[in-house]
Amino acid sequence: MKVTKFGGSSLASAQQLQKVLNIVKSDRERRFIVVSAPGKRDAQDTKVTDALIQYYNHYKNNQDTSADKAWIIQRYRDIATELNVNLSIISTIQKSIESLECLPITNNPYLYDTFLAAGEDNNAKLIAAFFKENDLDAIYLHPSDAGLFVSSEPQNARLLPSSYEHIQKLRQGEQIYVIPGFFGVTMDNNICTFSRGGSDITGSLIAAGIHAELYENFTDVDGIFAAHPGVVNKPHSISELTYKEMRELAYAGFSVLHDEALIPVYRSKIPLVIKNTNNPSHPGTKVTLKHETLDLPVVGISGDDKFVSINISKYLMNREIGFGRKVLQILEELNIRWEHIPTGIDDMSIVLRERELTPEKEERIVDYLQNELHVDDLEIEKELSIIMIVGENMKNHIGITAAATKALSEKNINLEMISQGSSEVSIMFVIKSKEEKAAIQALYSAFF
């Protein structure tokens, strides 16, 4: 059994839905279809979810909502008409969209979530009707009937562990279930969404719940590229990736899947494949626990900017017991997350994301380090990028760092810091942001 999730761009138009139908029909194992709301048809278009946010804002502020409702309903109607789906489904969708503005505005922490969830919910109804009319034994399944019970945390729901028992029962059915992504229901029957982009999470939870053999995530690219296509000209798509490698690449700028979506399938040891709705014969990228075939040392190179480094020096720092703890303590007190701590004998750097450091927090840190910890030198370095070279097989190869630093030195790129964890899944370089693009291009040429 496979759980197959389609993202918004795969469901944006009648033409896309026709491709989705063909994909589902081509494999009988595809029995659990999780869908997003219709996405953008082109760069200028609006996602249905974003249109629902506007509808919500107008409703909440007592403004005219007629244009919002009409636009959203028309989006579904256009798709249904072009696909020749019986238009009775449109009156169902129309009622659902219109009924949103009968919900109470005050004392209703789930109002926003209920508006947003309507995008996926109505899309699932439309798609189930379309499948049925095209000879698939398909049925729409609301998350409450699927057993997707979640915590009462609006826009940040978490699955209640007891839900898995309910979801597992779906295995017994024979039909193709079309399940709206992005939301679940609380124990007191309120709609509660995951964070934005959360349909990926639904797919992963269903896959874990039914012990699927595979979780397929269909999007609009041929899998995950070995480097960002905006930086490297036509990078190849990675055929196989481990969950650990995926996490490392996602950390530094690769955002194909929602972060939280990896956890349920990873824990249940279910492989994931990222495929292209517009090119379904392409094998895509398979994400597994362990490499099955690939033995290349490096699978991908990612880079991300907007990092800051707090560089501290103090003579004989290594003799001062508790110094590191005291430095980290001020970060904890200021509620700052740090990312990396490269060290020397008498110096340590704390690398963090720029957004963590407000001017007030920066001032407080400087004051504390100078006047309470009496550091000799202190610098807050900005406009830094990190580059990650990722590959679990690196540990079986010698000379990866040498090849990387050679490629960077040939381009005259200065390495500010280098760090490699003991698991050797990645090597990280900190460089100046203005050199990020050149660094990724040089490393891509060196390894691929």
| Residue 49 among known ligand-binding residues | yes
- Give Cα separations from 126 to 101, 179, 350 (angstroms): 21, 11, 51
- According to the binding rule CB under 6 A, does residue 180 interact with ligand ASP? no
- 378, with CB counted inside 10 A (0-12, 13-18, 19+), is middle
DSSP string, 407-435: HHHHTTPPPSEEEE-TT-SEEEEEEEGGG
The single residue among 147, 180, 198, 264 that binds ligand ASP, judged by CB under 6 A, is 198
The single residue among 8, 209, 223, 297 that binds ligand ASP, judged by CB under 6 A, is 8
Q: Which is nearer to ligand ASP, 155 or 268 (CB)?
A: 155
The single residue among 49, 186, 190, 302 that binds ligand ASP, judged by CB under 6 A, is 49
Cα–Cα distance for residue pair 445/62, rounded to 1 Å: 57
DSSP string, 247-263: HHHHHTT--SS-GGGHH
Provide the token pair at 362: 């920066």
Cα torsion at 197, 334, 415, 392 (round to 10°)?
A: -50
- According to the binding rule CB under 6 A, does residue 163 interact with ligand ASP? no
Q: Which is nearer to ligand ASP, 13 or 309 (CB)?
A: 13
Q: Which is nearer to ligand ASP, 30 or 47 (CB)?
A: 47
**246 by DSSP, 3-state: which?**
helix
Q: Which is nearer to ligand ASP, 254 or 368 (CB)?
A: 254
Binding mask 349-378 for ligand ASP (x = CB under 6 A): ------------------------------
- According to the binding rule CB under 6 A, does residue 36 interact with ligand ASP? yes
**Percent of the chain that is helix, strand, coil (3-state, to 5):** 40, 20, 35
Nearest Cα neighbor of 68 from 127, 17, 115 is: 115
Binding mask 102-131 for ligand ASP (x = CB under 6 A): -----------------xx-----------
Binding mask 15-34 for ligand ASP (x = CB under 6 A): --------------------
- According to the binding rule CB under 6 A, does residue 143 interact with ligand ASP? no
- According to the binding rule CB under 6 A, does residue 203 interact with ligand ASP? no
**57 by DSSP, 3-state: which?**
helix
- According to the binding rule CB under 6 A, does residue 47 interact with ligand ASP? yes
Strands 30-35 and 176-180, by their bridges, are: parallel
Q: Which is nearer to ligand ASP, 35 or 350 (CB)?
A: 35
The single residue among 180, 184, 197, 264 that binds ligand ASP, judged by CB under 6 A, is 197
Phi/psi for 433 (5° steps) reads -60, -30
Residue 86: Cβ within 10 Å count: 11
Looking at this protein, which amino acid is placed at residue 381? E
| Residue 218 among known ligand-binding residues | no
- According to the binding rule CB under 6 A, does residue 37 interact with ligand ASP? yes
Instruction: Give the residue numbers of the binding site.
Output: 5-8, 49, 120, 219-220
Q: From the annotation, which residues make up the binding site for ATP?
A: 5-8, 219-220
Q: Which chain residues interact with ligand ASP by CB under 6 A?
A: 8, 36-37, 47, 49, 119-120, 181-182, 196-200
Q: Where is the binding site for substrate, in residues?
A: 49, 120
